Structure 1
Protein backbone atom coordinates (compact mmCIF):
# COMPACT_ATOMS: atom_id res chain seq x y z
CA UNK A 1 0.00 0.00 0.00
CA UNK A 2 2.79 2.44 0.89
CA UNK A 3 4.86 1.64 -2.18
CA UNK A 4 1.81 1.91 -4.43
CA UNK A 5 1.07 5.33 -2.92
CA UNK A 6 4.57 6.49 -3.86
CA UNK A 7 4.19 5.05 -7.36
CA UNK A 8 0.86 6.88 -7.76
CA UNK A 9 2.71 10.08 -6.80
CA UNK A 10 4.99 9.50 -9.79
CA UNK A 11 8.02 7.93 -8.11
CA UNK A 12 9.95 5.25 -9.92
CA UNK A 13 13.07 5.13 -7.74
CA UNK A 14 11.78 3.88 -4.40
CA UNK A 15 13.83 2.63 -1.46
CA UNK A 16 12.65 0.29 1.29
CA UNK A 17 13.54 0.51 4.95
CA UNK A 18 12.94 -1.79 7.92
CA UNK A 19 14.62 -2.96 11.11
CA UNK A 20 17.16 -5.76 11.28
CA UNK A 21 14.76 -8.05 13.16
CA UNK A 22 13.18 -10.37 10.58
CA UNK A 23 9.63 -10.89 11.83
CA UNK A 24 6.65 -12.18 9.86
CA UNK A 25 5.42 -8.59 9.61
CA UNK A 26 8.70 -7.21 8.27
CA UNK A 27 8.93 -10.03 5.73
CA UNK A 28 5.36 -9.32 4.58
CA UNK A 29 6.09 -5.57 4.24
CA UNK A 30 9.17 -6.24 2.13
CA UNK A 31 7.21 -8.74 0.03
CA UNK A 32 4.53 -6.08 -0.52
CA UNK A 33 7.17 -3.53 -1.53
CA UNK A 34 8.67 -5.94 -4.07
CA UNK A 35 5.26 -6.92 -5.42
CA UNK A 36 4.24 -3.27 -5.96
CA UNK A 37 7.56 -2.52 -7.67
CA UNK A 38 7.24 -5.57 -9.93
CA UNK A 39 3.60 -4.78 -10.79
CA UNK A 40 4.70 -1.30 -11.87
CA UNK A 41 7.67 -2.79 -13.77
CA UNK A 42 10.11 -0.79 -11.65
CA UNK A 43 13.64 -1.84 -10.83
CA UNK A 44 14.46 -2.93 -7.29
CA UNK A 45 17.93 -1.78 -6.24
CA UNK A 46 19.60 -3.90 -3.57
CA UNK A 47 21.54 -0.91 -2.26
CA UNK A 48 18.23 0.90 -1.69
CA UNK A 49 17.07 -1.74 0.79
CA UNK A 50 17.91 -0.64 4.33
CA UNK A 51 17.44 -3.42 6.86
CA UNK A 52 19.06 -1.71 9.82
CA UNK A 53 16.55 0.93 10.78
CA UNK A 54 14.43 0.53 13.89
CA UNK A 55 14.30 3.99 15.44
CA UNK A 56 14.68 7.74 14.96
CA UNK A 57 18.50 7.68 15.04
CA UNK A 58 18.62 4.85 12.50
CA UNK A 59 16.43 6.96 10.21
CA UNK A 60 18.98 9.77 10.35
CA UNK A 61 21.70 7.27 9.40
CA UNK A 62 19.62 5.97 6.49
CA UNK A 63 19.29 9.51 5.12
CA UNK A 64 23.05 10.05 5.39
CA UNK A 65 23.61 6.84 3.41
CA UNK A 66 21.10 7.91 0.75
CA UNK A 67 22.74 11.33 0.37
CA UNK A 68 26.15 9.70 -0.11
CA UNK A 69 24.88 7.61 -3.04
CA UNK A 70 25.69 8.59 -6.59
CA UNK A 71 22.50 6.91 -7.83
CA UNK A 72 19.85 7.55 -5.20
CA UNK A 73 16.12 7.04 -4.74
CA UNK A 74 13.51 9.81 -4.89
CA UNK A 75 11.23 8.16 -2.32
CA UNK A 76 11.41 5.76 0.60
CA UNK A 77 8.89 3.48 2.28
CA UNK A 78 9.75 2.88 5.93
CA UNK A 79 8.25 0.35 8.30
CA UNK A 80 8.09 2.87 11.14
CA UNK A 81 7.08 6.47 11.77
CA UNK A 82 10.07 6.77 14.11
CA UNK A 83 12.47 5.91 11.29
CA UNK A 84 10.62 8.18 8.86
CA UNK A 85 10.83 11.07 11.36
CA UNK A 86 14.59 10.59 11.62
CA UNK A 87 14.88 10.68 7.82
CA UNK A 88 12.82 13.88 7.59
CA UNK A 89 14.78 15.57 10.40
CA UNK A 90 18.16 14.72 8.88
CA UNK A 91 16.99 15.80 5.42
CA UNK A 92 16.23 19.28 6.76
CA UNK A 93 19.67 19.47 8.41
CA UNK A 94 21.28 18.54 5.09
CA UNK A 95 19.28 21.10 3.12
CA UNK A 96 16.98 18.62 1.38
CA UNK A 97 13.29 19.29 0.92
CA UNK A 98 10.73 16.61 1.72
CA UNK A 99 8.91 15.60 -0.44
CA UNK A 100 10.52 17.45 -3.37
CA UNK A 101 13.98 15.88 -2.99
CA UNK A 102 12.89 12.73 -1.17
CA UNK A 103 9.34 11.60 -0.45
CA UNK A 104 8.94 9.66 2.80
CA UNK A 105 6.16 7.41 4.05
CA UNK A 106 6.01 5.91 7.52
CA UNK A 107 3.95 3.22 9.19
CA UNK A 108 1.76 3.15 12.33
CA UNK A 109 0.42 6.74 12.47
CA UNK A 110 2.18 7.40 15.75
CA UNK A 111 1.93 10.88 17.30
CA UNK A 112 5.38 11.75 15.95
CA UNK A 113 3.90 11.60 12.42
CA UNK A 114 2.06 14.86 13.10
CA UNK A 115 4.98 16.52 14.92
CA UNK A 116 7.53 16.36 12.11
CA UNK A 117 7.91 19.07 9.51
CA UNK A 118 6.58 18.29 7.07
CA UNK A 119 4.04 16.03 8.70
CA UNK A 120 4.41 12.38 7.70
CA UNK A 121 2.25 10.49 5.32
CA UNK A 122 1.83 7.14 7.03
CA UNK A 123 -0.12 3.92 7.10
CA UNK A 124 -2.55 3.60 9.99
CA UNK A 125 -3.24 0.16 11.29
CA UNK A 126 -6.23 -0.54 13.54
CA UNK A 127 -4.24 -1.08 16.75
CA UNK A 128 -7.25 -1.13 19.07
CA UNK A 129 -9.07 -3.70 16.95
CA UNK A 130 -5.89 -5.79 16.69
CA UNK A 131 -5.63 -5.87 20.48
CA UNK A 132 -9.32 -6.68 20.82
CA UNK A 133 -9.02 -9.62 18.43
CA UNK A 134 -5.87 -10.86 20.15
CA UNK A 135 -7.74 -10.85 23.48
CA UNK A 136 -10.69 -12.73 21.95
CA UNK A 137 -8.32 -15.29 20.48
CA UNK A 138 -6.68 -15.79 23.86
CA UNK A 139 -10.08 -16.15 25.54
CA UNK A 140 -11.08 -18.70 22.92
CA UNK A 141 -8.06 -20.77 23.92
CA UNK A 142 -8.83 -20.51 27.65
CA UNK A 143 -12.63 -20.63 27.91
CA UNK A 144 -15.02 -23.45 27.15
CA UNK A 145 -16.49 -23.19 23.63
CA UNK A 146 -19.92 -22.01 24.81
CA UNK A 147 -18.34 -19.06 26.66
CA UNK A 148 -15.86 -18.08 23.95
CA UNK A 149 -16.36 -14.72 22.22
CA UNK A 150 -17.20 -14.74 18.52
CA UNK A 151 -14.33 -13.89 16.21
CA UNK A 152 -15.10 -11.53 13.32
CA UNK A 153 -14.30 -13.00 9.92
CA UNK A 154 -13.60 -9.81 7.97
CA UNK A 155 -9.95 -8.82 7.82
CA UNK A 156 -8.75 -5.66 9.52
CA UNK A 157 -7.98 -2.80 7.15
CA UNK A 158 -4.99 -0.52 6.86
CA UNK A 159 -5.38 3.01 5.54
CA UNK A 160 -3.11 5.68 4.11
CA UNK A 161 -3.06 8.90 6.10
CA UNK A 162 -1.82 11.38 3.54
CA UNK A 163 -0.02 14.36 4.93
CA UNK A 164 2.82 16.40 3.45
CA UNK A 165 5.84 14.09 3.20
CA UNK A 166 4.79 12.47 -0.06
Structure 2
Protein backbone atom coordinates (compact mmCIF):
# COMPACT_ATOMS: atom_id res chain seq x y z
CA UNK A 1 0.00 0.00 0.00
CA UNK A 2 1.39 3.41 -0.94
CA UNK A 3 0.13 6.38 1.01
CA UNK A 4 1.34 9.59 2.60
CA UNK A 5 3.26 7.60 5.23
CA UNK A 6 5.29 5.68 2.65
CA UNK A 7 5.82 8.82 0.56
CA UNK A 8 7.08 10.64 3.65
CA UNK A 9 9.39 7.74 4.53
CA UNK A 10 10.62 7.64 0.89
CA UNK A 11 11.49 11.33 1.13
CA UNK A 12 13.43 10.86 4.39
CA UNK A 13 15.20 7.71 3.18
CA UNK A 14 16.12 9.33 -0.16
CA UNK A 15 17.95 12.12 1.62
CA UNK A 16 19.62 9.59 3.94
CA UNK A 17 20.71 7.54 0.91
CA UNK A 18 22.25 10.62 -0.70
CA UNK A 19 24.26 11.18 2.47
CA UNK A 20 25.28 7.51 2.77
CA UNK A 21 26.45 7.35 -0.85
CA UNK A 22 28.47 10.53 -0.60
CA UNK A 23 30.16 9.18 2.53
CA UNK A 24 30.52 5.58 1.32
CA UNK A 25 31.42 5.97 -2.33
CA UNK A 26 29.74 5.08 -5.56
CA UNK A 27 31.05 1.61 -6.43
CA UNK A 28 28.49 -1.06 -7.34
CA UNK A 29 28.76 -3.07 -4.12
CA UNK A 30 28.31 0.05 -1.99
CA UNK A 31 25.26 1.07 -4.00
CA UNK A 32 23.70 -2.38 -3.50
CA UNK A 33 24.47 -2.22 0.22
CA UNK A 34 22.98 1.25 0.54
CA UNK A 35 19.81 0.29 -1.36
CA UNK A 36 19.32 -2.71 0.95
CA UNK A 37 19.94 -0.42 3.92
CA UNK A 38 17.34 2.01 2.54
CA UNK A 39 14.72 -0.75 2.39
CA UNK A 40 15.51 -1.83 5.98
CA UNK A 41 15.57 1.73 7.32
CA UNK A 42 12.25 2.57 5.66
CA UNK A 43 10.65 -0.69 6.82
CA UNK A 44 11.81 0.01 10.36
CA UNK A 45 10.28 3.48 10.39
CA UNK A 46 7.02 2.14 8.93
CA UNK A 47 6.92 -0.69 11.49
CA UNK A 48 7.36 1.70 14.41
CA UNK A 49 4.85 4.14 12.94
CA UNK A 50 2.15 1.45 12.61
CA UNK A 51 3.00 0.04 16.08
CA UNK A 52 2.52 3.56 17.45
CA UNK A 53 -0.80 3.84 15.66
CA UNK A 54 -1.93 0.47 17.02
CA UNK A 55 -1.08 1.55 20.56
CA UNK A 56 -2.66 4.99 20.15
CA UNK A 57 -5.91 3.78 18.63
CA UNK A 58 -5.98 0.46 20.55
CA UNK A 59 -6.60 -1.60 17.45
CA UNK A 60 -4.76 -3.77 14.98
CA UNK A 61 -3.06 -1.81 12.19
CA UNK A 62 -1.92 -3.78 9.14
CA UNK A 63 1.84 -3.87 8.57
CA UNK A 64 3.09 -1.71 5.74
CA UNK A 65 5.28 -3.76 3.41
CA UNK A 66 7.83 -1.07 2.61
CA UNK A 67 10.08 -0.91 -0.40
CA UNK A 68 12.06 2.24 -0.94
CA UNK A 69 11.00 4.22 -3.98
CA UNK A 70 13.63 6.91 -4.56
CA UNK A 71 12.33 10.43 -4.87
CA UNK A 72 14.41 11.31 -7.91
CA UNK A 73 13.17 14.88 -7.95
CA UNK A 74 14.79 15.38 -4.57
CA UNK A 75 18.02 13.70 -5.64
CA UNK A 76 18.32 15.84 -8.76
CA UNK A 77 17.27 19.13 -7.23
CA UNK A 78 20.22 21.56 -7.05
CA UNK A 79 19.17 22.95 -3.65
CA UNK A 80 19.21 19.47 -2.12
CA UNK A 81 22.49 18.46 -3.77
CA UNK A 82 24.01 21.66 -2.35
CA UNK A 83 23.29 20.37 1.16
CA UNK A 84 25.59 17.40 0.57
CA UNK A 85 28.17 18.99 -1.71
CA UNK A 86 28.64 22.51 -0.41
CA UNK A 87 30.86 24.82 -2.37
CA UNK A 88 29.92 23.38 -5.74
CA UNK A 89 27.99 26.04 -7.58
CA UNK A 90 25.98 28.98 -6.41
CA UNK A 91 23.94 28.47 -3.26
CA UNK A 92 20.29 29.44 -3.21
CA UNK A 93 20.07 29.77 0.56
CA UNK A 94 16.30 30.22 0.55
CA UNK A 95 15.80 27.01 -1.43
CA UNK A 96 18.21 25.07 0.78
CA UNK A 97 16.44 26.31 3.93
CA UNK A 98 13.07 25.39 2.40
CA UNK A 99 14.20 21.82 1.63
CA UNK A 100 15.82 21.36 5.03
CA UNK A 101 12.69 22.69 6.75
CA UNK A 102 10.48 20.38 4.70
CA UNK A 103 12.61 17.38 5.65
CA UNK A 104 12.60 18.45 9.32
CA UNK A 105 8.80 18.73 9.12
CA UNK A 106 8.57 15.20 7.68
CA UNK A 107 10.54 13.83 10.60
CA UNK A 108 8.42 15.80 13.08
CA UNK A 109 5.33 14.29 11.43
CA UNK A 110 6.52 10.70 11.89
CA UNK A 111 8.53 10.71 15.11
CA UNK A 112 5.73 11.37 17.65
CA UNK A 113 3.78 8.34 16.43
CA UNK A 114 6.92 6.18 16.22
CA UNK A 115 7.78 7.12 19.82
CA UNK A 116 4.64 5.27 20.94
CA UNK A 117 6.10 2.01 19.63
CA UNK A 118 7.49 -0.04 22.55
CA UNK A 119 10.79 -0.81 20.77
CA UNK A 120 11.40 2.67 19.27
CA UNK A 121 13.90 3.91 21.87
CA UNK A 122 16.41 1.12 21.16
CA UNK A 123 15.91 0.83 17.40
CA UNK A 124 18.16 1.70 14.48
CA UNK A 125 15.23 3.68 13.06
CA UNK A 126 15.19 5.89 16.13
CA UNK A 127 18.94 6.50 15.83
CA UNK A 128 18.55 7.46 12.15
CA UNK A 129 15.57 9.76 12.78
CA UNK A 130 17.17 11.41 15.80
CA UNK A 131 20.48 11.95 14.04
CA UNK A 132 18.77 13.43 10.99
CA UNK A 133 16.52 15.65 13.10
CA UNK A 134 19.41 16.97 15.21
CA UNK A 135 21.57 17.58 12.14
CA UNK A 136 18.73 19.39 10.37
CA UNK A 137 17.97 21.50 13.43
CA UNK A 138 21.59 22.57 13.95
CA UNK A 139 22.06 23.26 10.22
CA UNK A 140 18.92 25.39 10.10
CA UNK A 141 20.01 27.30 13.21
CA UNK A 142 23.48 27.83 11.72
CA UNK A 143 21.86 29.21 8.56
CA UNK A 144 19.81 31.62 10.67
CA UNK A 145 16.52 29.94 9.85
CA UNK A 146 13.78 29.55 12.42
CA UNK A 147 13.45 25.96 13.60
CA UNK A 148 9.92 24.80 14.13
CA UNK A 149 6.97 26.69 12.84
CA UNK A 150 3.44 27.69 13.54
CA UNK A 151 2.23 25.66 10.59
CA UNK A 152 0.74 22.22 10.98
CA UNK A 153 3.31 19.49 10.37
CA UNK A 154 1.97 17.19 7.71
CA UNK A 155 3.13 14.24 5.72
CA UNK A 156 4.98 14.82 2.47
CA UNK A 157 3.47 13.23 -0.63
CA UNK A 158 4.55 12.91 -4.22
CA UNK A 159 1.62 15.22 -5.06
CA UNK A 160 3.79 18.04 -3.66
CA UNK A 161 6.39 17.59 -6.41
CA UNK A 162 6.19 20.57 -8.75
CA UNK A 163 4.59 19.65 -12.10
CA UNK A 164 7.80 20.63 -13.92
CA UNK A 165 9.67 17.90 -12.01
CA UNK A 166 7.16 15.07 -12.46
CA UNK A 167 8.60 13.92 -15.82
CA UNK A 168 11.77 12.86 -13.97
CA UNK A 169 9.90 10.14 -12.08
CA UNK A 170 8.12 9.06 -15.24
CA UNK A 171 11.39 8.79 -17.16
CA UNK A 172 13.29 6.95 -14.43
CA UNK A 173 10.51 4.69 -13.23
CA UNK A 174 9.05 4.10 -9.82
CA UNK A 175 11.18 1.33 -8.42
CA UNK A 176 14.88 0.94 -7.74
CA UNK A 177 14.74 -2.83 -8.05
CA UNK A 178 14.43 -3.41 -11.79
CA UNK A 179 11.02 -4.95 -12.06
CA UNK A 180 10.19 -5.53 -8.40
CA UNK A 181 6.86 -3.92 -7.56
TM-score interval (norm. to shorter)? under 0.3
Going by fraction, where is helix more abundant, 1 or 2?
Answer: 2
Q: Which has the higher contact order (CA 8 A, sep 6+)?
A: 2
TM-score by length of 2: 0.26
